[in-house]
Amino acid sequence: MPEINNSNFEVFVEYAGFLGDLPIFALADGTVQILATDNISIMPHNGLLSACLSLDGNKLITGGEDGLVLAINPHGEIHQIADLGDQWVDKIAAGPQGLVGFASGRSAFVVDGNSEQKGFTHARTIEGICFAPKGKRMALARYNGVSLHWTGLDAAPVELEWAGSHTGVTISPNGKFIVTTMQENALHGWRLDNPATGDGKHMRMTGYPTKVKSISWSAKGKWLASSGAPAAIVWPFTSKDGPMGKTPKELGSMGDNLVTVVCCHPSQQVVAIGYDNGMVLAVRIDDEKEAVLRKTGKAPVNSLNWDKKGVRLAFGSEEGEAGVIEI
Amino acid sequence: MTQPIPVTVLTGYLGSGKTTLLNRILSQSHGKKYAVIVNEFGEIGIDNDLIVSSDEEIYEMNNGCVCCTVRGDLIRVISNLMKRRGRFDAIIVETTGLADPAPVAQTFFMDDDVRAWAKLDAVIALVDAKHLMLRLKDAPEAEDQIAFADVILLNKIDLVSDDERGKVEAAIRVLNPHAVIYPTKQADIDLGLILDRGAFDLDRILADDPKFLEPESDHHHHEHNHGHDCGPDCDHPDHEYTTSPHDSEITSVSLRGTEMNSDMFFQWINKITQIDGPDILRLKGIIAFADDPDRYVVQGIHMIVEGDHQRPWKDNEKRESRLVFIGRNLDHEKLTRTFAACHA
């Protein structure tokens, strides 16, 4: 069993990860805890709804019930990116060159490294947000599909349509596939044959017993791991057609316990899996070899993130249990 | 797993007094904390972290069923609220005057997460006693809200004569014979009467309707029960009605029978709700199955039906089955005939 440093914050852990080398935990009440020689505890938000790491790994980007979008550095210093008043900022994403995307209700915004802000308004609520690998485009998941906006150009977005509510979105590291989580128990994907027009084949990934809330690309985008089943469902994306006509791997099958979160290792073909009983597992995708990293807890695991080198894993649960596992 | 949070849905046409009632709920000291999901911050004159505005957003489910709709915004807001569930004891959802209550209610049955965290307690409709008759002529939404409700606040009662009030109550009873009606002025009501009712709770279903299983009298006199505050000097001219006061398509059908065959009943209720689900707003009932010592209770919204064994029939209880449908274009003859065919 690897070494675990446990904490209990007794508040829903929205994000557990590493800011630079320091473990960081962002909690739903608005507090952020940075574990250092002298621990830093700050309360940047009145209610925190979303958090992600900047691509350089040195800033935590957060959105709150207070309408604020903030960037927090390893010293606990807070920089305000935006203030949307009384709107809840519950979707957030970071992109290359310091890009930050965030959404509240039917409006989404992108802010570049020079603090230039650009907004997009939709007819329906924006439920997911992510950037393409080079940051030229930002994908917004919405009812009946995805809109691919240009971050730097005033050109019309490319619209990808598929009936139903799309609750999250991700683009493969090679930029060739775009995948959404849906309100129904399924993933939907598009092959981006022609990124300028959005033409390409649809991909349906179904069979989940519950909603998929967590998806993660493995190193180099070879696999897409997903939650929503009593095992991590891992789809192959090595061929031109992605997972079409192929069966996914079911890793870390645990009987009745549902997988709540997945996070792939930064360099190896390994996925960390969190369960609704608090267990954390790491599984090598190729030979399906499992290692138990945490046996159990009192609440579902909500956040899992590796450090840059892939030697430590931070976890956080819905009831505030959190920790760092040294591999 | 902690207890699901009770959710009360507040409907009512524009000007019926929803905001007044919300302000009462938020300002009275009743020892409970409510998270309130409103359509617009608008006129709620109370500063409270737990008032959340949300755009009503209807999602059709990808299963080809036109009435299987949910409120996407509620799924999101409730998911976010539940991250800090210690902040409140219950949730109130205020809908716009023009809202269809069905997608709101269905959200609590069709979305797995919401279903796990929260349970629908009751749908309350506020009705403007002065203007209801006009609304019923020009606004189908007002009709739906009444037909769908578990509790109806007949508000602004001070603005109408006894005669008018009788007509309004009669009109409500045609649309919804089993809702509890409370007459109010300025939405002034003992909150204990309208919150935490368990109207969708199979254990408590129809518990506030003691007349539900009583033998029906020959005429259509509806027992004037449920907290209606008529005193002995009540002289309402009209506690009795046989015709609709306006040309409504919404009616209710009450079915009554003896012991049923469970296989046939389940086949029948599934088929009826599959075929006629879009027209069925609500259904509720208590069924006596042959060879089953327990009362079986059932409730439904459109195509969603759920049922469970409730408790054993008591020795002095007549083992009788009763089922009420409220909906549009209900085929009284077909429902009666096919229900009767399920008898054991």
Round to whole Å and give the CA distance between B75 and B54. 11
Tally: H helices and E strands in chain A? 0, 30
For chain A, which residues score pLDDT lower than 70?
A: 1, 195, 198
- DSSP label at A66? T
Residue B170 reports pLDDT greater than 80: yes
- Annotate A159-198 with DSSP letters as a single string: EEEEEEEEEEEEE-TTSSEEEEEESSSEEEEEE-SBTTTT
For B54, the closest chain A residue by CA position comes to: A105
**Superfamily for domain range B5-213:** P-loop containing nucleotide triphosphate hydrolases (3.40.50.300)
SS (H, E, C) B170-197: HHHHHHCCCCEEEECCCCCCCHHHHCCC
Read off the pLDDT of residues A40-84 as tens digits, 9 standing for 90 and up. 999 999 999 999 999 999 999 999 999 999 999 999 999 999 999
Determine whether the interchain pair A183/B76 forms a contact, defined as Cβ–Cβ distance below 8 Å.
Answer: no
Q: How far lies B180's CA from each of A19, B151, B206, in Å?
A: 57, 5, 10
- The pairing of strands B51-53 and B34-38 is parallel
Determine whether the interchain pair A105/B55 forms a contact, defined as Cβ–Cβ distance below 8 Å.
Answer: yes
Round to whole Å and give the CA distance between B25 and B35. 11
Q: Is B242 on the interface with A (CB under 8 A)?
A: no
Amino acid at B307: G
10 Å CB burial of residue B133 (0-12, 13-18, 19+) is middle
Q: Does B250-340 match B5-213 at the fold level?
A: no
CA dihedral for B37, B10, B323, B5, sign (positive or negative): positive
For A302, the closest chain B residue by CA position comes to: B83
Residue B213 reports pLDDT greater than 90: no
Determine whether the interchain pair B80/A49 forms a contact, defined as Cβ–Cβ distance below 8 Å.
Answer: yes
Lowest mean pLDDT among A169-173, B30-34, B81-85: B30-34
pTM (two decimals): 0.89
3-class DSSP state of A16: strand
Minimal CA separation from A179 to chain B, in Å: 17
What average pLDDT does range B150-156 have in this prediction? 95
Q: Is A233 on the interface with B (CB under 8 A)?
A: no
What average pLDDT does range B18-31 have in this prediction? 87
A–B CB contacts, 8 A cutoff, strictly below: 56
Please answer whether residues B19 and B42 qualify as being in contact, where contact means their C-beta atoms are separated by less than 8 angstroms: yes
For A164, the closest chain B residue by CA position comes to: B62
Going from N- to C-terminal start, the domains of chain B cover: 5-213, 250-340
Mean pLDDT of chain B: 84
Determine whether the interchain pair B112/A47 forms a contact, defined as Cβ–Cβ distance below 8 Å.
Answer: no
Position B217 confidence tier, pLDDT thresholds 50, 70, 90? very low
Minimal CA separation from A262 to chain B, in Å: 19
Round to whole Å and give the CA distance between A146 and A169. 8
For A298, the closest chain B residue by CA position comes to: B1
Determine whether the interchain pair A12/B72 forms a contact, defined as Cβ–Cβ distance below 8 Å.
Answer: no
The architecture of the domain spanning B250-340 is 2-Layer Sandwich (3.30)
Position B247 confidence tier, pLDDT thresholds 50, 70, 90? low
**Closest in A90, A106, A164 to B76, CB measured:** A90
Please answer whether residues A36 and A22 qualify as being in contact, where contact means their C-beta atoms are separated by less than 8 angstroms: yes
Minimal CA separation from B59 to chain A, in Å: 7
Determine whether the interchain pair B112/A211 forms a contact, defined as Cβ–Cβ distance below 8 Å.
Answer: yes
The residue among B27 and B156 whose pLDDT is bigger is: B156
Please answer whether residues A232 and A290 qualify as being in contact, where contact means their C-beta atoms are separated by less than 8 angstroms: no
Q: How far lies B265's CA from each of A204, B270, B272, in Å?
A: 37, 8, 10
pLDDT (0 to 100) of residue B3: 84
Alpha helices in A187-249 (DSSP H): none
Read off the pLDDT of residues B282-330 as tens digits, 9 standing for 90 and up. 999 999 999 899 999 999 999 999 999 988 998 888 899 999 999 999 9
Read off the pLDDT of residues A260-271 as tens digits, 9 standing for 90 and up. 999 999 999 999
Residue B208 reports pLDDT greater than 70: no
The residue among B29 and B143 whose pLDDT is bigger is: B143
User: What are the structure tokens assigned to B328, written together?
Assistant: 């549009």
10 Å CB burial of residue A310 (0-12, 13-18, 19+) is middle
Residue B233 reports pLDDT greater than 50: no
Round to whole Å and give the CA distance between A129 and A110. 10
Minimal CA separation from B113 to chain A, in Å: 9
Chain B residues in contact with A210 (beta carbon < 8 A): 112
Determine whether the interchain pair B41/A86 forms a contact, defined as Cβ–Cβ distance below 8 Å.
Answer: yes
